[in-house]
Amino acid sequence: MKLTKRAVEALQVTGKRYGVFDRDVTGFAVRVGASGDKSFYLVYRAGKGRAATKRWLRLGTFPTMSVEQARDIAKQKAAQVALGEDPAEQVSEYKVAPTIKTAFISFFEQHDTKIKSSTSAAYHRIAEQYIFPAIGSIKVAAVQYRQVASLHYAMKDTPYQANRMAALLSKFFGWCEKNGYRERGSNPVVGLEKYEEQKRQAFMGREELEALGNAFRIMETQGYTNPKTGKVTTFDPSIAAALKVMLFTGARCMEVLTLKWEYIDIDRSIANLPDSKTGAKSLHLPPPALAVLAALPRINEYCFPGRRGTGHIVNVKDTWRRLLDTARLTGWRIHDLRHAYASYAACSGKSLPVIGAILGHTQAATTARYAHLADNPVAVAAAETAAQIQKDFSGGKVLPFKKAAE
């Protein structure tokens, strides 16, 4: 019989399961269950000959799926069978295929050992905070560009994090392709336009550093008084010393906090760091930084030990916020101490390559943000030179112009 809406509705419940095939599309059938439920199927043999396994591929349930919709799907699946495919097997594989969250477990197992612990921690945080809540339950093979773009757009208020999330997903889907979870060349992040990231161009100047220096002296002598509770917090001398070393060296926060005594070469005024964001590097220790280090007690292997005498200092953000409150400064980060060092070096006439070498930049573009500051001493020198020329030119004798001999 030809399966139509009326024909399917008219099928009776017999208490036993039975099927009725469509006369127009080979293998297209509706199966009536013992309780009266009605579902559409495509019945076919997976392989050639009578010995091939017969498959019942479920297409949908009536009336949620109309007869017309089921017939169209049956035709599509029948075409796949004609090409030698097994759509029922594909459905089975899809059911056991990993979700985003499940696949990330294997991804992290393989990648965590190849990257820095700080990078790994950042990856895990991004996945837990942004990726898993949005698409974690979706099958890896089912994720499309629109879902990634939607997640990226939802994070538009934090463009930096949005771009880092997209970068992690791109790396993850590339790994999925290599491991057979997705077809090659199907990375859904490809083509996603990243948000523009504005690098900070405002750097701490003399006024800010003077205010910060005054705040240091106040907190070292009086501590910090919480304006809401009136409770006084003492200024941890190890944290104070660590912040000063960051300022005097331009080093990254964790480079200083994880500094060990064994790394320091006093004769050469450097610290040989075995690892950093850019790998092994030599951290230059100018006299002010060496003076701070020389005044520190040696409690354990770290220059800036934790409060209980084990490990190193981990959290300096709370103290930094108290410093800014005392200095009446807002919006500055600990990393701005590194920028302050670089901006002072640029304004004093140091070349960008030299500044990059001091800071341990591996790319010239990273140091380029200070180019407009490095131009300042050049402009001053040009102005002073022209002024001296003008002075000498204006104050000298006016000599008669001699015409060249013909």
pLDDT at 182: 86
pTM of the model: 0.52
Quick one: pLDDT band at residue 322, thresholds 50, 70, 90?
very high
Confidence bin at 78 (pLDDT 50/70/90): confident
Better pLDDT: 84 or 20: 20
Q: Is pLDDT above 80 for 223?
A: yes
| Arithmetic mean of pLDDT, 300-326 | 90
**388 pLDDT tier (thresholds 50, 70, 90):** low
Taking 60 as the threshold, does the pLDDT of residue 337 lie above it? Answer: yes
Co-location of 219 and 368 in the same domain: yes
Residue 352 has pLDDT above 80, yes or no: no
pLDDT of the residue at 336: 86
Domain span at 72: 5-96
Domain end among 44, 75, 96: 96
What is d(CA 255, CA 281) in angstroms, rounded to the nearest whole number?
A: 10
Residue 172 and residue 28 share a domain: no
Q: What percent of the chain has pLDDT over 90?
A: 40
pLDDT for 331 equals: 85
For residue range 12-27, what is the model confidence (pLDDT) as tens digits? 999 899 999 999 899 9
pLDDT band at 114 (very low <50, low <70, confident <90, very high): confident
What are the pLDDT digits (tens) for 227-267? 778 888 888 999 999 999 988 888 888 889 999 999 999 88
Give the confidence band of 338 by pLDDT, cuts at 50, 70, 90: confident
My answer on whether 88 and 220 are in the same domain is no
Residue 201, in any domain of the structure: no
Which of 80, 96, 112 is the last residue in one of the domains?
A: 96
Q: Is residue 147 part of a domain?
A: yes
Q: Is the pLDDT of residue 370 over 60?
A: no
- Look at residue 85 and tell me whether its pLDDT is greater than 70: yes
Portion of the chain with pLDDT greater than 70, in percent: 80
Please tell me whether residues 143 and 258 are part of one structural domain: no
* Structural domain total, the chain: 3
Greater pLDDT, 401 or 50: 50
pLDDT at 71 over 70: yes
Please report, for the domain that includes residue 151, its CATH number: 1.10.150
- The Cα–Cα gap between 401 and 390 comes to 19
Co-location of 90 and 110 in the same domain: no
Q: What is the pLDDT of residues 161-218, one digit of tens each?
A: 999 999 999 999 999 999 888 888 999 999 999 988 766 556 778 888 899 999 999 9
- Does residue 383 have a pLDDT over 80? no
Tell whether 241 and 355 lie within a shared domain. yes
Q: Looking at the structure, do residues 31 and 148 belong to the same domain, yes or no?
A: no
**How would residue 84 be classed by pLDDT, with cut points 50, 70 and 90?**
confident
> Residue 28: which pLDDT band, with cuts at 50, 70 and 90?
very high
Residues 289-302: tens digit of each pLDDT = 999 999 999 999 99
Say if residue 373's pLDDT is above 60.
no
- pLDDT recorded at residue 260: 94
Residue scoring higher pLDDT (61 or 387)? 61
Answer yes or no: is 287 within a domain.
Answer: yes
The reply to whether 281 falls in a domain is: yes
> What's the pLDDT score for residue 354?
66
Query: Do 365 and 327 lie in a common domain?
Result: yes
Residue 91 has pLDDT above 80, yes or no: no
289: nearest Cα among 245, 254, 246, 259: 245
Same domain, 174 and 318: no
Evaluate whether residue 212 is within a structural domain: yes
Query: Which CATH number covers residue 244?
Result: 1.10.443.10
- Do 366 and 225 fall within a single domain? yes
